[in-house]
Amino acid sequence: MSFKEYNQDQPFLLPLSLYDFLTDGHLAQVINDIVNELDLRELYARYSDLGCSAYHPQMILKVLFYGYARGERSSRVIAHRIKSDVAYMYLTALQQPDFRTINRFRKDNIDILKGLFVQIVRLCIEIGMANVGTIAIDGTKLKANASYRKTKRVADIDKEIEIIDKQIEAILKECDETDQKEDEVAGQDRSIYEVAAELKERQKLKERLQRAKEKVLANNSKEINLTDGEATTMLHKGYRPEPSYNGQIAVGGNGVIVAATLTTNPADYEALKELIEETETNTGEKPLEVLADSGFSSYENLEYLEDSGINGYIPDQKTESIRKGTCQHPEFHKSRFRYNETDDTYTCPMEKTLPYKGLMKRQGKPDIRIYRCDACSKCERKAECTKAEYRTIGLDPREYLFEKMRIRLGTKEGKGKYSKRKYLVEPVFGDMKYNQNMRQLLLRGKLKAKGEFLIMCIAHNLKKIARYLIGTGNSNPMPCPI
């Protein structure tokens, strides 16, 4: 049989460039060219001329971005790839920083990532691949680097401190008994012994629990995670509670993330204003339309959009529950009650009247008008309508904002625009979670967790740039106009 020559010891006649081992338009080439053009003066300023020379920060930045784009986020995995993967070798120029160097660089420079993210967003706009006329926003729960078993309430902390006190008391008692026995044998001139290691551990744990308790009380929260004290318990799929953060993004054209933030609130609605303002700051353009799911629906958000002159397409949660069939007895939903302006009353689906009963005062928010039906006891369908003695309706003076939004979403144009949200923002989280392995954060604390989330967003945008350049026939990226 005839085979091509196969010799692993064959030397090269001329030295080769690692660039030659990569195909044109390879992701590593794109990341290399883009990072070369980034303004890294703030990063360079953190290094000193004294002491041993450090690895070039530009090189480690390239390695981190490429690793996150590949779903390889562990510093140990990246350090291993540097020794075995040609693309990593190309980015490092055959240098081999260890995992501690990579991890230390990531943690120490987490605060400059926002500026790098903005530079790359502006590059996307400059080369014509992103626009922010219409943005879609969404959030996703990211598990923190902590276990739910380490989440404690104040009562749990008090119980553990009580148990530890008893253990410390038992250890000290045992030490005293041992000393007395030794005194009987060796006399009163005894040696000075170190505190038992077990006692030290118990005392340290007690101090840690006391600090955690103080933090819970200071923040007026219900619980705290002892591993990551800033993570919040959030429900994931299957209603599984986990210490987590809520990653929020705004996506423009071509799936480019134009704004990103990380919150400790399981609900999404608080992030809408921040994402819109971040989009304008990052891109220099104010979005004209915002698409979001019902998690972002609130009176405050709709007021903000109206005051800002931005068209929102955001269904409210009550309407969505009817549409999805998750609302029990939708025929008795508040939206099915008819308001009568002439006598300021509501009429229920069973044609019974709900007259005005008074105002419910609220601090810092508009008062709510209360309407109550007095004929519920005689209604044959009362059990489907309410579990209380009487059916009550609360009317917020801003209710017209929800009604305007329902009308807008009910039109053909509104339905068409809102449907864009599904293929603008949802595939982005799908790619990041399943291809970039973004199901759990590696760094602890909100600041570091937010920085890691920004690295993920940067890596996603870099992948988008590489695909865009190939799609436009420009497999060799041009220097970035930043």
Where are any strands of DSSP class E within 373-437? 392-395
Statement: residue 33 has pLDDT above 50: yes
Distance between CA 228 and CA 230 in Å, rounded? 6
pLDDT, tens digit, 9 for 90 and up, residues 294-314 = 899 999 999 999 999 999 999
Q: Is the pLDDT at 198 greater than 70, yes or no?
A: no
Comparing 153-157, 182-186, 234-238, the range with the smallest average pLDDT is 182-186
**Mean pLDDT calculated for residue range 87-103:** 93
Q: From the centroid of its chain, how far is CA 388?
A: 39
Give the CA angle between residues 437, 441, 443 to the nearest 5°: 135
Residue 371 and residue 354 in contact, taking contact as beta carbons nearer than 8 Å: yes
Per residue, the 3-state secondary structure of 217-277, as one string, reads: HHCCCCEEECCCCCCEEEEECCCEEEEEEEEEEEECHHHCEEEEEEECCCCCHHHHHHHHH
User: How does residue 184 score in pLDDT terms, banded at 50, 70 and 90?
Assistant: low
pLDDT of residue 137: 95
The pLDDT value given to residue 152: 75
- Of 195-199, 419-423, 475-479, least confident by mean pLDDT is 475-479
**Can you give the pLDDT at residue 481?**
36
Of 224, 260, 230, 232, which Cα lies nearest the Cα of 438? 260
Mean pLDDT, range 7-33, rounded to an integer: 80
DSSP 54: P
Residue 260 has pLDDT above 50, yes or no: yes
Q: Exposed/middle/buried for 298, CB within 10 Å: 0-12, 13-18, 19+?
A: buried
Q: Among residues 171, 139, 165, which one has the least CA distance to residue 259?
A: 139
Intra-chain end-to-end CA distance of the chain, in Å: 57
The average pLDDT across 193-211 equals 63
Give the residue with greater pLDDT, 224 vs 204: 224
DSSP 195-212: PPHHHHHHHHHHHHHHHH
Site of tokens 């705290």: 224
Report pLDDT for 317: 75
Is the pLDDT assigned to residue 451 strictly greater than 60?
yes
pLDDT band at 150 (very low <50, low <70, confident <90, very high): confident
For residues 235-264, give the mean pLDDT.
91
pLDDT at position 413: 93
Model confidence over 46-77: pLDDT tens digits? 988 888 888 999 999 999 999 999 999 999 99
Mean pLDDT, residues 276-294 taken together: 93
- In this prediction the pTM is 0.82
d(CA 147, CA 158): 20
CA distances from 248 to 166, 262, 275 (A): 45, 6, 8
State mean pLDDT over 317-343: 77
What is the average pLDDT value for the chain, to the nearest integer?
Answer: 84
Using alpha carbons only, how large is the chain's radius of gyration in Å? 30
Q: What's the pLDDT score for residue 480?
A: 40
Q: What is the pLDDT of residue 366?
A: 87
